[in-house]
Structure 1
Amino acid sequence: MEGVAIFEKPVVIQLGRIDRDRVVVGVRDAATLLLYEWPENSSAREAAMQACLAAIKGEASVTMARDAFVAAAQAARIYLGDLP
């Protein structure tokens, strides 16, 4: 499907309550979370937002955006892992 940037493996993060894990399946999901719900403002968050924007515009790969999103989630200590 054109214009859909889906991650090869979904990313699982935990933004708040322990029973509220979030499964992030693509670049647009990641960008929305980074913009509106991220727990901290950091250089890793900024880099992930830039990578997601570049992927949405077709200027970067989905893999690059995913890697930056995972790095930001790890830096914020909300990364739980990947789904197969």
Structure 2
Amino acid sequence: MSRFERPVVVQLSRHAAERVVFDVNDAATILLRDLTRETEKRKAAMDACLRVLRGESHPPAARRAFVAAALEAKILRGD
């Protein structure tokens, strides 16, 4: 199961609606499609998501990494 215990709320652009991220798949999609700036936090979040999807890690680690990347990208609206 790759669902987050608590969803993460992000807003991908000033004019976009807020988006509720419920699981690792949603987070990975946002990291790939929307956070295009290559940063260490984005890379760490991608790695954390991949580890969960491969069964090597658990969702809370990916959630923490995703929140850090979202905060850095200034898209985090609710944690």
Structure 1-normalised TM-score? 0.87
Return the alpha-carbon distance in structure 1 between the equivalents of residues 36 and 7 of structure 2.
20
SS class of match (1:74): helix
Alignment identity in percent? 49
Residues 34 and 19 of structure 1: CA distance in aligned 2, closer, same or farther (over 3 Å) = closer
Kindly report the root-mean-square deviation, in angstroms, between the aligned alpha carbons of the 2 structures. 1.2
2:76 to 70, 75, 79: 79
Tell me, yes or no, if structure 1 residue 59 matches structure 2 residue 56. Answer: yes
Structure 2-normalised TM-score? 0.92
1:17 — aligned with what?
Answer: 14
Deviation of the 1:39 alpha carbon:
4.8
- Structure 2 unpaired stretches of 5+: none
SS class of match (1:58): coil
- Structure 1 unpaired stretches of 5+: none
Corresponding pairs, count: 79
Contact 1:15/1:39, CA 8 A, preserved across alignment: no
